[in-house]
Amino acid sequence: MPYRLALWSLVALIAAVVLLQRNPMAVDAELLPGEGVELTREARADVLVVLDYDAIRQSGPAFSQRDFSAAWINLVEQEFGPVAIATPQTLAASMLDEARVIILTSSVSSDLPPSTLDVVRRRAREGNLVVVERPGGQLREMFSANGRAGVRRGQRITHAEGLDEPYLTQLRQSPVATDFIGSTSPREGAETLLSIDGAPVIYALPVGRGHVITVDFDFGEHLVSLQQGRPDEEYRVRSSGVQRSPTTADLVADAKLLGSEVPYADLLERYIAYGVITRFAPVPAFWAFPGDAQGAVVFLHEDARLGDGGAWKLEYENSRRASSTLLTTVDAGLSKEGAEAIHARGGEVGLLWRFPHPTTASYAPDGFGAFQPFERPVSIEAQLDQLRKVLPVNYVRTARSIEGTWSEDWSAPLAALASANIRIDASYAVPGQSGYAFGSGLPFLALSDEGVPLGLRELPVVFPPDRLEGPEFDALLEASAAGHHQVISVLTDPAAFADYPNVDDFEAWLAKFESIEAHGHLVMNALRLDAFQRSRRAGSIRSRIIEDTELPAHTRQSDDRPRHGTIMRLSVEAKERNMSVVVPTRVGEHEFIGARSGTRRVGGELMSSEVETLETSLIGLELRQVPLSQGFNTFEFYYD
């Protein structure tokens, strides 16, 4: 009997080995949340953001308790370009002395050393701007309302000073996902700029020749919720469907965002940047797009089976002097020759990431030597290695999770992409639903569960394939050109034309180019968009305001009557061609009257050339735009 038992056990073991070898067992792969990268930067910039990463990590642990102060980096980079970033360990007195705008985020605004507090107060008195977010302690006593009404949950925005229609109504209709600090009485002498539920949440206090702006709501939580999506308090994403894994559509923070023609997150950012900050500290900014383009359109073509044929649209795009990004899976069949042809025509190849979920993953055998009874999802690093083998370049910078598949861990997929050196991810989308479901069309800085930057930007899809609901493409272009100035990313499926060839659909796609040109937008691929945005962040802008001074003779209305006003002097470094800078049309009570470039004194005489400026605006706030030469530029702008 023992021998028979041993024999049959051996037979069963051999059968199990053969069975597993032929039918390996699938093993799930787990994505781990990333730790993020502590960004610090001593840039030549007018704006300084101060934050404490230790305090950020120690906040929480729930999502609504997390300090998302790093969201201020996103605001300044998107709206102005270059930004200096400091922590309590890297903050030097020279950084405070050089900045015209000092932003003290909530992570530092309750525990500011007396020496730093003295410098901040002095800088405000000298005519500069200090922004304090949810201040505490001595900082609140000096500059803000008493805060004795405690923390409240916001319901809606009720007032925005200086914002005209239709943007005022749009901001009032914006979803609110934040707490604010209530006070039993307003700060004496302060001017209310923004209110939530009738309570002042942004207000300005004159201090000497400058101002201190108090932001008394959780800006970071609000912005991150709208853009990156809102998980539950434990950073978990719950699926709304029957599938086991969530999709990026489950990240949408509020139902009001679905099908929205308004980029609500960017609307608030731009009001704070241009309606609040530049109102009291007129700082210049890099325009967000090349030349005088009113916005950009990024065509993303995702293909999982056509291989070289997946880029067939690039031929038509080239005829319109445009390019696009092909997102392809490693098993779609893209060849070296096909990849080289795409590269030669100015296109980009990115990864259509087979997410580690049973419905979308690509599996590889796993085991011990020849015995491989398991199969594991192919990692993103392995997928990128396979893709790079067919590319004429050794990098992949753009990716998208196939079918928008996501994990239950809020930031884990973004962390995995960032660790694989992906710069732009385009996974965020709502199938069949166009519009700004994530409050933005611009690539935004992704954050980890701990509130620390992950080092990649998320580019939400604004116009998905097979749109059933939401605004038409032309409506999005029109709103963008009128004042929102967005990146409209268009996701298409090249195989759909192969399966169901339809002349009307093809002509509708071609008609998009006519509309893009008519609305002053530029077609870019994701890699080119990222390169331009990186140049904006890497450039430098330093400005100086000279008030109540005699303006140059050429601005006089008559030779015998000197003209007094305000001069803004700029020193700008543009990292690439076709960049431009914008300045406010008004400085205080003074209106823009002209500008000159290359201003310098030679032998005691002023040598410069007059500059032609363009009128433009952001959310109805008027600006003047000037093209730049690559390298260093100097300007004087005159206001009377």
Instruction: Give residue-wise pLDDT tens across range 111-160.
Output: 888 889 999 999 999 999 999 999 999 999 999 999 999 999 999 999 99
Determine the pLDDT at residue 363. Answer: 77
Q: Give the C-alpha distances (Å, rounded to integers) separating 341 from 299, 300, 344, 495, 585.
A: 18, 17, 5, 19, 47
Give Cα 239 distance to the centre of its chain: 25
Which residue ranges does the chain devote to CATH 3.40.50.880?
Answer: 47-217+254-280
Residue-level pLDDT at 364: 72
Are residues 426 and 489 in contact, defined by beta-carbon separation less than 8 angstroms?
yes
pLDDT at 558: 59
As annotated, the residues of the chain forming the CATH 3.20.20.370 domain(s) are 287-535
Q: Which residues of the chain form CATH 2.60.40?
A: 539-639
- Helix (H, G, I), strand (E, B), or coil: what is residue 125? helix
For residues 603 and 251, is the Cβ–Cβ distance under 8 A?
no
User: Which residue positions in the chain have pLDDT lower than 70?
Assistant: 1-2, 4-30, 32-34, 241-244, 365-374, 499, 556-561, 599-607
pLDDT at 33: 65
How far is it, in rounded angstroms, from Cα 1 to Cα 11? Answer: 15
Q: What is the pLDDT of residue 17?
A: 47
Could you please report the per-residue DSSP string of 535-571?
HHHHSEEEEEEEEEEEPPGGG-SBTTB--EEEEEEEE
CATH topology of domain 287-535: TIM Barrel (3.20.20)
CATH 3.40.50.880 fits 47-217+254-280, yes or no: yes
Alpha helices in 114-166 (DSSP H): 114-125, 137-143
For residue 210, the surrounding DSSP H or E stretch is strand 210-215
The one-letter amino acid code at 11 reads V
- Joined together, the tokens standing for residue 335 give 């060849």
Task: Say whether 202 sits in a helix, a strand or coil.
Answer: strand
Query: Tokens for 283?
Result: 């700082």
* Beta-strand relationship, 453-458 and 210-215: unpaired
Instruction: Specify the 3-state DSSP secondary structure of 249.
Output: helix
- How far is the C-alpha of 423 from the C-alpha of 523, rounded, in Å? 19
Q: What average pLDDT is seen over the chain?
A: 90
Q: Which residues pair with 35 in a beta bridge?
A: none
Please give the pLDDT value at position 18: 47
Q: So what's the pLDDT on residue 353?
A: 96
HEC profile of 373-414: EEEEECCHHHHHHHHHCCCCCCCCCEEEEHHHECCCECCHHH
User: From CA 595, how far away is CA 634, in angstroms rounded?
Assistant: 11
- What's the pLDDT at 20? 44
CATH class held by domain 539-639: mainly beta
User: What pTM, to 2 d.p., does this model score?
Assistant: 0.91
- At 629 the pLDDT is 93
